[in-house]
C-alpha cells in the first residue's frame, strides 16, 4: 500500500494563534502516526509563487491521511490555523 502525504504551504500572519494550532493538532498527528518530513526550513523558489512556511507530512496510507485531516482533533486545530494564516493543503498518494 503506498504511503500518502500532506503538502501544506502557508503564510502565517498571527504567530501566537499559529502556536495554538500546532499544539491542538498534536493529538491528531500522534493518533495517525504522522511523520514530518519537512517543517519550515529554508526554501528556494524555482517557479511560481512562494509561501513562507512549507510542510510535508507522511502517513502510512491515503486513508490515514484523509482520516487525520477530518478527525475531530484536527478539525478543532484547523479553527486556529484558519485564524492564523492562509495557505494551500494537498493530500497526495505516494508511488
- pLDDT bin (cut points 50, 70, 90) of residue 33 is very high
Query: What are the φ/ψ torsions at residue 3 (nearest 5 degrees)?
Result: -75, 175
Query: Which residues form the domain of 41?
Result: 4-93
- Dump pLDDT digits (tens) for 39-76: 988 999 999 999 999 999 999 999 999 999 999 999 99
User: Across the chain, what does the average pLDDT equal?
Assistant: 96
Residue 58 sits in a domain whose CATH number is 3.30.70.100
Number of domains observed in the structure of the chain: 1
Q: What is the DSSP string of 58-86?
A: EESSHHHHHHHHHSHHHHHHHHHHHHHEE
Of 70, 72, 35, 69, the closest CA to residue 55 belongs to 35
* The predicted structure's pLDDT at residue 54: 95
37 contacts: CB under 8 Å, gap ≥ 6:
5, 56, 57, 58
- Picking from 76, 64, 82, 90, the residue whose alpha carbon sits closest to that of residue 23 is 76
Amino acid at each position: 500500500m503506498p504511503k500518502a502525504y500532506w503538502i501544506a504551504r502557508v503564510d502565517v500572519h498571527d504567530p501566537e494563534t499559529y502556536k495554538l494550532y500546532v499544539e491542538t493538532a498534536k493529538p491528531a498527528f500522534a493518533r495517525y502516526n504522522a511523520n514530518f518530513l519537512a517543517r519550515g526550513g529554508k526554501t528556494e523558489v524555482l517557479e511560481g509563487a512562494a509561501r513562507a512556511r512549507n510542510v510535508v507530512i507522511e502517513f502510512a496510507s491515503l486513508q490515514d491521511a484523509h482520516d487525520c485531516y477530518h478527525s475531530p482533533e484536527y478539525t478543532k486545530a484547523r479553527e486556529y490555523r484558519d485564524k492564523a494564516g492562509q495557505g494551500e493543503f494537498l493530500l497526495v498518494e505516494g508511488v
